[in-house]
Amino acid sequence: MRTQTVPQRTYRSYFTDSTYWDDYRPRPGDIVISTPPKVGTTWTQRITSVLVFQSTRLPGPLMEISPWLDCAFTPLDRTLETLEGQRHRRFIKTHLPMDALPVHSDVSYLIVGRDLRDAAVSAHNHALGTSRAADRLPPGPTGDDVHTPVHPPVPEDVHEHWRDYFTRSAFPWESDGWPFNSPTHHLESWWRHRGEPNVLFLHYQDMLDDLDGQMRRVSAFLDIPVDESVWPELVQACAFSDMRSGQDQIFGKGAIGDAATSFRFFHRGSSGQWRGIATEEDLALYRAAMEPLPADLRAWLARDA
C-alpha cells in the first residue's frame, strides 16, 4: 500500500498519543474518521457503522468497534488486538491533524467540521465532564515530550473557557483549542487535500439539515451501495435523538465508558448555541483565531459569516 504522507509532528498529552499510529498496519478499505473534538465525531462513527454493517444493531459498543487509536487512556496493545481481529471493514477514530498521521492511498478519510463557535461551547461541556471524571481514567503518557501531562483545570465560566479555547492549545506550536489540540490547524491540514479521491469533508450543519443526503454522500464515497429496503431505518438510527437514547450501543464498559456516561456526552446536537452566550469580546477572539485560515475554509466553517 502506498503511503501518501508520513507524520511531521508528534502529539503527546494527557488525552492523546500520536506515536500509537506507528504500529498501525493499514488494510485496503480502512476508514479513518479524523475530526477536531466536539464537531460530530461520534455521529460520523455511527453513520459509518450502519453503512458498514447495513444494520442498526452492532456486534458490540461503537467505541470498541471503532476505536480511538491515539487515545492515551487505552492500552495500545488492546486497541491493536481489536483492530487485527476485525474481519469487517474497519473504521477508526482520531483527533489528530493530517500532519501527525501516516496517510495511505488505499485508506478513506472522513473529515468533519463545524462552526467553531458552537464547537467551543460543546468543548466546554465536554472538558468539564472529563475533568470531573479524571479520577476514573488511567494515567496518561509520560516523558519529556508530553504536553499537559495531567488533565488541566477547566473553568466553570464559559467566557473564561472561550478565551482559553481561542487563544491556547495543549501543544506549544498551536494557538487554539484548549484544553485539546487546535481545530483550526486540524481542518486546515486536511483542507488543501479535499480534492483527493480518498478524502471527504462533512459539515455538522449539513448533517443536521439533510442527514439522509449526507449519509448518501458517505455511502457513495465509501462505495457502499444503499439498500433502499433498510435505508430509512439506518437514517433514523443516526438521528441525534436516537443516539442519545441508545447510549448502550455507543459506550462500552470500563473506565472510559463509565467516564463518558458520567456527564452529558451528547451536549445539545444543535447549531447556534453560541448566540446566547458569546459577547463581542468573545467574538473578537474567535475572529482572530479564524483569520489565518484560507478564506474559503472560513466561509465553509461559518455558514453565516
Cell of 78: 488492546
- Integer Cα distance of 272 and 121 in angstroms: 10
The residue annotated as part of the active site, out of 95, 124, 151, 161, is 95
pLDDT digits (tens, 9 = 90+) for 38-58: 999 999 999 999 999 999 999
pTM equals 0.92
Q: How many domains does the chain have?
A: 1
- Integer Cα distance of 30 and 10 in angstroms: 22
In this structure, what are the phi and psi dihedrals at residue 113, rounded to the nearest 5 degrees? -125, 165
Residue 88 a catalytic site member: no
Kindly state the helix (H) or strand (E) to which residue 238 belongs, with its residue range: none
CA-CA-CA-CA dihedral for 222, 9, 298, 244, to nearest 10: 50
Give the residue-averaged pLDDT of 293-305: 87
- Integer Cα distance of 94 and 276 in angstroms: 31
pLDDT digits (tens, 9 = 90+) for 178-228: 999 999 999 999 999 999 999 999 999 999 999 999 999 999 999 999 899
Q: Which domain holds residue 28?
A: 3-301
Neighbours of 79 (CB within 10 A): 20
CATH assignment at residue 109: 3.40.50.300
